[in-house]
Structure 1
Amino acid sequence: MKPSVVAIEASGHFCSDCAVREFAVCSSLTAAELREFEYLGRRVHFDAGETVFSEEDTTTSFYNVLEGVMRLYKLLPDGRRQIVGFALPGDFLGMNISGRHNFSADAIGAVTVCQFAKASFGRFIEDRPHLLRRINELAIRELSQARDHMVLLGRRSAEEKVATFLLGWRERLLALKRASDRVPLPMSRQDIADYLGLTIETVSRTFTKLERHGAIEIIQGGISLRDAALVEALAAA
């Protein structure tokens, strides 16, 4: 099944009204630039489990996430999957030095992106240094997240890994004004395990242990932070 494609200019949703504009790559553009920018892209919808792009495919497009969550992963030589991150609204994907995607991206639940052709996007940014600075800011943030993930994988205990993941995910949602003490977790326990370098059994036991100790409450579709200080203490251990 092919993803559903709707041209931005035909959908009645313009860049100036975009709900994630302040978080996205286009936040640095003026109103006049936005009017030009919105005709560069098209709005594309992906159903749960659909692939947005695959590792090693030639990069022909860039993607600005509008709605939903995507899992970003690499397949290891032995066939195992290592999730390297989760993309949220406002994240910009696809830019790389090699000209090929260095990871795959799948939709977790329904996902909507703005898709930009690489060539036309490249021409648009040539004489806009403020947009280049914004892209650099996002690249630096991505590098920082990759560094933090490497540190996370090197932590000693499952409790530390899970606590750090929960706090980091909550912080990202708070930045989007989409979370409180109730933290939605759209990804599966297997996704979390593949992100943290644990087994699904270990992740499930750790969630149960954190709940038993009063740190969290497992709820439908996520968790509720019952004792944020305790979770923070575990993450900093």
Structure 2
Amino acid sequence: MATAITDIRPELDHGHPCFGCAVREISLCGVLESEELRTYKQTGSTVRYEAGAAIFFEGDPAESVYTLTSGTLRLSKLLPDGRRQIAGFIFPGNFLGITMEEEHAFTAEAITPAELCRFSRPRFEAYLRDHPLMERRLYALVAHELAAARQQVVLLGRKTATERVISFLLMLGSRCRKEGGLADELSLPMSRADIADYLGLRIETVSRELSALKAAQLIQLTNNHSVRLLEKDRLEEMSEN
């Protein structure tokens, strides 16, 4: 888990380039004080993408890093047989683009309209050298990503279709709690096909499992892009079987 920020940072004034940022406290730059944050922001730019647009493609030079401030992205990889595997979803506050290689290993695409803070990789790395607290925060975020990747291996290798779908919903619920939202109300901006490719299932299987959970009155499908968790304790038990 990323290290929590427990101190109360001063409010930013209206003229600050990060004024009004909804994810400042949960993002990588949340450890910076006001003037440090101003300097950091001035080393980058704000970029916006429409739904369906690619931020970068697999194999592109890894020249920039990003913080997602609004919207949802998906990370995917094209398998040798032509199938797509979704490696994960990027939510507001997540950091994107860090790699030890010179090329991106995944394609990043906007599921919804998205806004990101973009920084050149050399400038970002230089800034980290001068700000060890931010560097430690990055290490914590990378460790959290590694733990999530290991959980994904377990999810795909050991769990049934029902357990995979439930684990996915609980993961989204945990994300809502982190952002201060209602953990019972989950936004599903991604398509059923995206969920299927992430969980290693068929689209029909995902739809069938969601319908079964609804019939059992464990969830409520409020519309195509949102779910209400009705029996969280029971769902947690089922995901761990």
Q: TM-score, normalised by structure 1?
A: 0.92
Residue pair 1:66, 1:90 contacting (<8 A) in 2 also? yes
TM-superposed deviation, 1:15: 2.2
Query: Which residue of structure 2 lines up, in the alignment, with residue 235 of structure 1?
Result: 239
* Residues 136/156 of structure 1: CA separation in 2 closer, same or farther (3 Å cut): closer
Query: Which residue of structure 1 lines up, in the alignment, with residue 65 of structure 2?
Result: 62
Query: Which residue of structure 2 lines up, in the alignment, with residue 159 of structure 1?
Result: 162
Structure 2: how far apart are the matches of 1:70 and 1:15?
21
Structure 2: how far apart are the matches of 1:105 and 1:121?
19
Q: Deviations over 1:191-210 (max 9, x none)?
A: 00000000000000000111
Q: Which moved more, 1:19-28 or 1:122-131?
A: 122-131
Query: Which residue of structure 2 lines up, in the alignment, with residue 8 of structure 1?
Result: none
State the percentage of identical aligned residues: 42
Q: How does 1:45-124 map to 2 (within 5 A)?
A: 45-124=48-127
Structure 1: how far apart are the matches of 2:19 and 2:133?
18
What letter is aligned with 2:63? T
Structure 1: how far apart are the matches of 2:100 and 2:27?
21
Q: Residue 211 of structure 2: SS of its match in structure 1?
A: helix
Structure 2: how far apart are the matches of 1:167 and 1:178?
14
What letter is aligned with 1:142? E
Q: Residue 45 of structure 1: SS of its match in structure 2?
A: strand
Residue pair 1:83, 1:195 contacting (<8 A) in 2 also? yes
Q: Deviations over 1:44-92 (max 9, x none)?
A: 1110000011111111100100001101111100111111110001111
Structure 1: how far apart are the matches of 2:102 and 2:155?
28
Residue pair 1:47, 1:110 contacting (<8 A) in 2 also? yes
Structure 1: how far apart are the matches of 2:144 and 2:59?
23
2:14 pairs with 1:21: no
Runs of 4+ residues deviating >3 angstroms: none
2:197 pairs with 1:191: no
Q: Residue 76 of structure 2: SS of its match in structure 1?
A: strand
TM-superposed deviation, 1:156: 3.5
Structure 1: how far apart are the matches of 2:98 and 2:159?
33
Q: Which moved more, 1:46-55 or 1:31-40?
A: 31-40
Residue pair 2:174, 2:183 contacting (<8 A) in 1 also? no
What letter is aligned with 1:186? P
Residue pair 1:16, 1:31 contacting (<8 A) in 2 also? no
2:218 pairs with 1:218: no
TM-superposed deviation, 1:18: 1.9
Q: Residue 147 of structure 2: SS of its match in structure 1?
A: helix
* Residues 159/13 of structure 1: CA separation in 2 closer, same or farther (3 Å cut): farther
Query: Which residue of structure 1 lines up, in the alignment, with residue 3 of structure 2?
Result: none
2:177 pairs with 1:174: yes
The root-mean-square deviation of aligned C-alpha atoms, in Å, is 1.4
TM-superposed deviation, 1:16: 4.8
* Residues 59/128 of structure 1: CA separation in 2 closer, same or farther (3 Å cut): same
Q: Deviations over 1:96-130 (max 9, x none)?
A: 11121111110011110000011211221222111
Query: Which residue of structure 2 lines up, in the alignment, with residue 3 of structure 1?
Result: none
Q: Which moved more, 1:174-183 or 1:162-171?
A: 174-183
Residue pair 1:61, 1:94 contacting (<8 A) in 2 also? yes
TM-superposed deviation, 1:146: 0.6
Residue pair 1:64, 1:92 contacting (<8 A) in 2 also? yes
Where do 5+ consecutive residues of structure 1 fail to align? 1-11
